């Protein structure tokens, strides 16, 4: 049990502390929004308002997603950029070329292009790829939460 604490939880807490020191406004905004949604979730549960509690929990997930950055987020943003560049060049395909190494990978043979199309479309409209990724991810969560 101590190994779990030492190997996963302590580094996470350390990185949160570092983020708070380096980006106090963003970290403060995240904390305020997170605590507000959790407080409203608690109030809704206390009052027995299941539907409101559900949407406050969805709100917490959305806030966490908006401010969080997963392990593979860079890969998804890269794929959005790569697809947008292919469409700009008029040559969409199933292969992606790594601009650093020149290595060609059959990425979209193994992964569907479909989830990347909304983000690619936003990127083609001028939205930065990281923001397009976040907007599409938040939109997907809302669609999944809607009954």
111-130 burial, b for 16+ CB within 10 Å, e for fewer?
eeeeebebbbbbbeeebebb
pLDDT in tens, 26-76: 888 988 999 999 999 999 999 999 999 999 999 999 998 888 877 788 888
pLDDT at 1: 61
pLDDT band at 99 (very low <50, low <70, confident <90, very high): confident
Q: Give mean pLDDT, residues 5-22.
A: 74
For helices 129-145 and 73-89, what crossing angle results, to 10°? 110
DSSP 33-86: HHHHHHHHHHHHHHHT-HHHHHHHHHHHHHHHHHH---TTHHHHHHHHHHHHHH
pLDDT at 2 over 90: no
Tell me the β-bridge partners of 105.
Answer: 96
Q: Which residue has the tokens 């009954």?
A: 147
Top-confidence residue, 85 or 100: 85
- SS3 for 19? helix
> Do 94 and 54 meet the contact criterion of CB atoms below 8 Å apart?
no
Q: How much of the chain exceeds pLDDT 70, in percent?
A: 93
pLDDT band at 127 (very low <50, low <70, confident <90, very high): very high
Q: Which of 76-80, 99-103, 112-116, 133-137 has the least mean pLDDT?
A: 99-103
For all residues of the chain together, what is the average pLDDT?
86
pTM listed for this prediction: 0.77
Within 13 Å, how many C-alpha atoms sit on residue 10's CB side? Answer: 7
Q: Which residue has the tokens 């292969």?
A: 95
């Amino acid at each position: 049990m101590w190994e779990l604490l030492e190997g996963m939880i302590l580094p996470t807490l350390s990185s949160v502390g570092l983020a708070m020191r380096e980006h106090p406004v963003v970290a403060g905004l995240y904390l305020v929004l997170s605590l507000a949604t959790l407080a409203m979730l608690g109030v809704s549960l206390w009052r027995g308002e299941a539907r409101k509690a559900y949407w406050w929990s969805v709100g917490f997930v959305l806030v966490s997603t908006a401010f969080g950055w997963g392990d593979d987020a860079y890969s998804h943003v890269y794929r959005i950029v790569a697809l947008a560049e292919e469409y700009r060049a008029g040559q969409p395909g199933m292969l992606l070329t790594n601009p650093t190494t020149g290595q060609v990978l059959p990425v979209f043979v193994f992964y569907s292009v479909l989830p990347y199309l909304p983000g690619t479309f936003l990127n083609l409209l001028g939205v930065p790829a990281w923001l397009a990724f976040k907007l599409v991810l938040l939109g997907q969560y809302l669609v999944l939460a809607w009954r």
